[in-house]
Amino acid sequence: MEQIFFYIFATIAVLSAIGVISVRNPVHSAFYLMVTLLQVAAIFILLRSPFLAAVQVFIYVGAIMVLFLFAVMVLDIGKEELTEAFNQQSVIAIPAVVVMLALIAYMIIGGKLSAPVGGYTDGILIGHGTEVLGKELYTKYLFPFEVVSILLLVALVGAIVLVMKDRQG
Amino acid sequence: MNGKKGGVNIFELIKKVVFTDFVKGLMVTLGYNATKSITLKYPDQEKWIPYRRFRGLHTLNRDEKGRELCVACELCSKACPTQCITVIPMEDDTGRGISDRVARVWKVDLVRCLFCGYCEDACPTRALRLGRDYELACTDSSCNLKQREELLVPQAVPESFEGGVVASSTFIVTPAGIRIKADLAKTKRRNW
Amino acid sequence: MPDISLIATLALMVIKVLVITMILFMLPLPLTYVERKVAGHIQVRLGPWRVGPHGLLQPFADMIKLILKEDIVPDKADKFLFKLAPFMAMIPAFAVYAAIPFGDKWTIPFLDRQVSLYITDMNVGILYVLAISGLGVYGLIFGGWSSNSKYALIGGLRSSAQMISYEIAVSFSAIGVVLLSKSLSLVEIVKHQGGTILHWNFFYLPVGPVWFFIFLIGATAEINRVPFDLPEDEGTLGAGFHTEYSGMRFAFFMLSEYVAMVTVSVMSVVLFFGGWNAPFNIPFVPPILWFIGKVILFIYFFMWLRFTLPRYRYDQLMTIGWKILIPVSLVNLIITGLMKI
Ligand code: SF4
Ligand code: SF4
């Protein structure tokens, strides 16, 4: 049962991900990206972490994609569609993609991606997943958590500083 | 404005924090929500009967013996700023009018008329009055031109009726058109 | 041989989903009528009057009109997204109700079976509701963009910016409620407010009312109600994002807007006013009636607000969101945290 659902979600996710990079219209790309992110959220639910699923929908689909769209919508789509999408980047991009795919394939085949199973069983995770996550994050992983927060803060301040300069100039 | 120069006005701040203005506004609308509506239920149930000074459709009067008061002097058509009244006189000694000069044709073009009332002021015999019929709309141009015969028929609201009231009315739909019949016996004043 | 009780549970689930969906589909009929009546009476008019007694059949007349109207798709519109957008607005509005608790367990008489008056009790219910209701904005954005009309585009842009700005404040107030109730599950949040009226989150002084007003303002902005209805600002934008829509597609936008308004009313009741808990101990009033009563009061409040306040200017909207609501909620969060230690 779960397997079937997983394959449904995964297929849609991959197809729409292909859609993101293959359609010419940026708004359509954004739409496909949204579908992909929603499918990923569904897969999170299958993995017994509704918290992550909700946050995925909330942050990525609900906020970040809306920001993307805000920027994309004001583009002049008509011109965007006409311009050739391929340029010099492809010379570097194609080898890079090939190398990365090969790396991923190697990792999957070699089975290096699996981590040792922790002490949390289904019984604990269902119903208390959020609590477990929160406790871990704020005790064991407090340092990386704070580092990430500061990183985000720096990015935020940077963005504001850039805009301020722009206005003065 | 004031707050910016001399520090923050503390009273203004408190007012904002507890949404005083919002609450005031909401209370006003709540008050209106509870008051009775002023809408006239026209045409189904109520109809406004205007005051005597109202200037509606023209009406041609007769004297108490039933003779036409109009003497076809054409003063009304001369006084009319839009020249929408046409009067063609003729001689008649059958006692149709109060004198031997009566109107052969007396017509008013309502599309041009601006209901200024100059015509009724000009009339020496008080034959012409602007009455209180105001439902003049129709679906074709046939009703634009009002002839003498039509205007001689007394209007629904007699001159003696004071007006300024709401009468209860009935809405009558007939194949010939729609009609709103007001019952002048059942009236009430409105206090707005 | 499948388990009888499993089938019963599934059937019950399907029935619950169907009942709630049907209720939500029918909801705009009374709501449009009531909204127009409230508008009328606030403006000392009568509102709908001529179709049926007291105009009661007006919504049905409107519905027939909307169904019979031609479904116009502008020639230069992006057909795919244009046709999809109304559904993208509608589906999230309905999906939210999967997590909303209308009442506690209730035993069916004669059958001796317990039924819970909610579809699921998710342990991340509050996040689910916020996340899903936030998705509704895609309908507005895509609808506005795909119409290929400047008014619709500006409406869509405004709704996306507005949504981003106010989502933050609303989530902060949700965090506040979670702190007060110590759970992410909506059922638990309501249960935590049981007892007397003073247990309601709204009366958790001094932070409760502040959270409530932050939530109320933010949520009003997110569902595009006056005074924050800039995406469909009829004074300057025609009809905003749904300028180009007609017939049933327009009706779907209307539907999702009304459902969103009900969602916000329901969420205010659930998060701050004790859900189905009775404020006073009056016997024989079933909890669901308390719930419905409180929701109706909120719906009236939103209509009342709509016909009282003028619309904010766009920069004022942004100022309220970023410079007032977010700092206030940050301070309030600290106070709440300290009080809960
Ligand atoms: S009311 Fe004025 S415009 Fe009309 S017919 Fe009389 S004089 Fe002419
Ligand atoms: S209505 Fe009066 S003013 Fe006009 S022609 Fe007759 S008498 Fe003269």
Which pLDDT tens digit goes with each residue over C302-321? Answer: 999 888 888 888 888 888 88
Half-sphere exposure of A19 (CA within 13 A, CB side): 17
Confirm or reject CATH 3.30.70.3270 for domain B57-131+138-154, answering yes or no.
yes
Same domain for A146 and A78, yes or no, is no
Same domain for A106 and A133, yes or no, is no
Q: Does the residue C158 lie in any domain? A: yes
- A102-131 pLDDT, tens digit per residue, is 998 888 887 766 667 777 777 776 667 778
Q: Is the CB of B127 under 6 A from ligand 2?
A: yes
| CATH code of the domain containing A96 | 1.20.120.1200
Provide the residue range defining the domain that includes C246. 69-339
How many Å apart are CA C217 and CA A41, to the nearest integer? 29
Higher local confidence (pLDDT), B55 or A165: B55
How many Å apart are CA C329 and CA C124, to the nearest integer? 21
- Out of A104, A120, A136, a domain closes at A120
Q: Is the CB of B87 under 6 A from ligand 2?
A: yes
Task: Quote the pLDDT of residue B11.
Answer: 83
Q: How far is C86 from chain A (nearest CA, A)?
A: 14
Same domain for A113 and A137, yes or no, is no
Same domain for A102 and A135, yes or no, is no
Q: Say what percent of chain C tops pLDDT 70.
A: 97
Q: Where are the alpha helices (DSSP H) in chain B?
A: 2-5, 10-17, 20-34, 75-79, 118-122, 148-152
Closest CB to A66 among C123, C163, C171: C163
Token pair recorded at residue C328: 């206030």
Nearest CA in chain C to B32: C42
pLDDT interval class at A93 (50, 70, 90): confident
- C235-285 pLDDT, tens digit per residue, is 788 888 888 888 888 889 888 889 999 999 999 999 998 888 888 777 777
Q: Does the residue C10 lie in any domain? A: no
Same domain for A103 and A55, yes or no, is yes
Q: Does the residue C55 lie in any domain? A: no
- Cross-chain residue pair A57–C135, CB shorter than 8 Å: yes
Per-domain boundaries in chain B: 4-33, 36-51+162-192, 57-131+138-154
Q: Using CB atoms, list chains with 3+ pairs below 8 Å to chain C.
A: A, B
- Cross-chain residue pair C45–B41, CB shorter than 8 Å: no
Q: Is the CB of B117 under 6 A from ligand 1?
A: yes
Q: Say what percent of chain A tops pLDDT 90.
A: 27
Provide the residue range defining the domain that includes A132. 123-169
Q: Does the residue C2 lie in any domain? A: no
Same domain for A28 and A75, yes or no, is yes
Domain count, chain C: 1
pLDDT interval class at C185 (50, 70, 90): confident
Contacts with C, A 62-91, CB within 8 Å: 62-63, 66-67, 69-70, 73-74
Same domain for A23 and A58, yes or no, is yes
Q: Does the residue C47 lie in any domain? A: no
- A24-54 pLDDT, tens digit per residue, is 788 888 889 999 999 999 998 888 788 888 8
Backbone angles phi, psi at C119, to 5 degrees: -75, -55
Q: Is the CB of B72 under 6 A from ligand 2?
A: yes
Q: Whose CA is nearest to atom 4 of ligand 1?
A: B113
Same domain for A91 and A144, yes or no, is no
Q: Is the CB of B151 under 6 A from ligand 2?
A: no
Closest CB to C44 among B26, B30, B32: B32
Half-sphere exposure of B25 (CA within 13 A, CB side): 13
Q: Does the residue C50 lie in any domain? A: no
Burial class (CB in 10 A: 0-12, 13-18, 19+), C318: middle
Q: Is the CB of B123 under 6 A from ligand 1?
A: no
Comparing C-alpha atoms, which of C337, C319, C332, C294 is closest to residue C173?
C332
What secondary structure does DSSP assign to C259-325, as a single string?
HHHHHHHHHHHHHHS-TT--SS--TT--HHHHHHHHHHHHHHHHHHHHTTPPPPPHHHHHHIIIIII
Q: Whose CA is nearest to atom 5 of ligand 1?
A: B113
Task: Quote the pLDDT of residue B72.
Answer: 92
Q: Whose CA is nearest to atom 8 of ligand 1?
A: B80
- Hey, which of B74, B119, B145 would you mutate to test ligand 1's pocket, going by the most ligand atoms within 8 Å of its Cβ? B119
Token pair recorded at residue C111: 């059958």
Nearest CA in chain A to C88: A31
Question: Buried (b) or exposed (e) across C98-121, using 16+ Cβ within 10 A?
Answer: bbbbbbbeeeeeeeeeeebbbbbe
Task: Quote the pLDDT of residue A77.
Answer: 59
Closest CB to C145 among A66, A73, A130: A73
* Mutation site, C301, C305, C308, C309, interface B, largest B CB count within 10 A: C308
